[in-house]
Structure 1
Amino acid sequence: MPVIQIEMGNKWKIETAILVKNVVLDEVREVFGLKSTDRNIKVIRYDQDLFELKDPYEIFIEIKLAGSRTVEFKRKLYDALTTAIDEKTMFKKDNVFIFLNEQPAENWGIKGGIPASDIEEPV
């Protein structure tokens, strides 16, 4: 399961942050083909004086994952996320900045400290 971090200013209500979290998690599960129990996600809301993104961005989404994906997969992920956010929240596609952080599987210590590269199931 990828690790998802969503960052936004605290000018948005907590309900808005929760909605964005749920929309992002649903789309990531769909695109990656994950079970409904797979979730590693956090939302960080910053004081507006401590959070600035270049216009028109208002949400920063970082997705950390082991291995690498094709450009086609990434396009599908970006489109799914921005379309769902646009359709289900108050934010528009252009308000979303997405960053994929792909790392070798040996950089992930899971299941009691085992490198993910030593485990058969995907991370």
Structure 2
Amino acid sequence: MPLVRIDLARGKTEHYRHTIGEVIYDAMVATLNVPANDRFQIIAEHADNDFIIDRTYLGIERTDDVIVIQVTLNAGRTVELKRAFYKAVADGLHERLEIRREDVFISLIEVVKENWSFGNGEAQYA
């Protein structure tokens, strides 16, 4: 069960935000072996002074349209799968919304399965 947080600058349309979620979910299913219907996403917009992103870290030129994607997921995927996911998200956002690949920032947080509760106060994967 990946939990996806999507952070972006305030002022984007509902269609724009929804499409970002679709692209990320499709990429997870295609590259990270996430099962169908396993979609949990939180999208948050931020004012300029609450969304501080370095414009040139690692020589990558970022704009005001940068998107920060944080995915919490079960540990165990290979570096190759992760790279495929990063590329699928950046390419998908570029193709569907014309978002610059340089403006797609992704962070994966890996946890062990017993760190999830899907409801009822239970650890379903433990």
User: Smaller-chain TM-score range?
Assistant: 0.7 to 0.9
TM-score (norm 1): 0.83
Aligned residues of 1:65 and 1:102 also touching (Cα < 8 A): yes
Identity %: 25
Query: Match for residue 121 of structure 2?
Result: 113
Aligned residues of 1:66 and 1:108 also touching (Cα < 8 A): no
Aligned residues of 1:68 and 1:103 also touching (Cα < 8 A): no
Aligned residues of 2:32 and 2:81 also touching (Cα < 8 A): no
For the residues of structure 1 that align with 2:118 and 2:16, how far apart are their CA atoms? Answer: 31
For the residues of structure 1 that align with 2:108 and 2:35, how far apart are their CA atoms? Answer: 21
Sort the Cα spacing of 1:113 and 1:61 in 2 relative to 1 into closer, same or farther, 3 A: same
For the residues of structure 2 that align with 1:52 and 1:17, how far apart are their CA atoms? Answer: 19
Query: Match for residue 58 of structure 2?
Result: none
User: 1:6-30 CA distances to partner (integer Å, 9 max, x unpaired)?
Assistant: 1001132332222212211222122
Aligned residues of 1:107 and 1:116 also touching (Cα < 8 A): no
Whichever residue aligns with residue 49 of structure 2, its letter is D
TM-score (norm 2): 0.82
For the residues of structure 1 that align with 2:113 and 2:94, how far apart are their CA atoms? Answer: 32
Q: How many residues align?
A: 118
For the residues of structure 2 that align with 1:71 and 1:108, how far apart are their CA atoms? Answer: 23
Whichever residue aligns with residue 54 of structure 2, its letter is K
Aligned residues of 1:8 and 1:44 also touching (Cα < 8 A): yes
Asked if 1:6 is matched to 2:14, the reply is no
Structure 1 spans left out of the alignment, 5+ residues: 119-123
Q: Secondary structure of the equivalent of 2:105? A: strand
Structure 2 spans left out of the alignment, 5+ residues: 56-61
For the residues of structure 2 that align with 1:17 and 1:6, how far apart are their CA atoms? Answer: 9
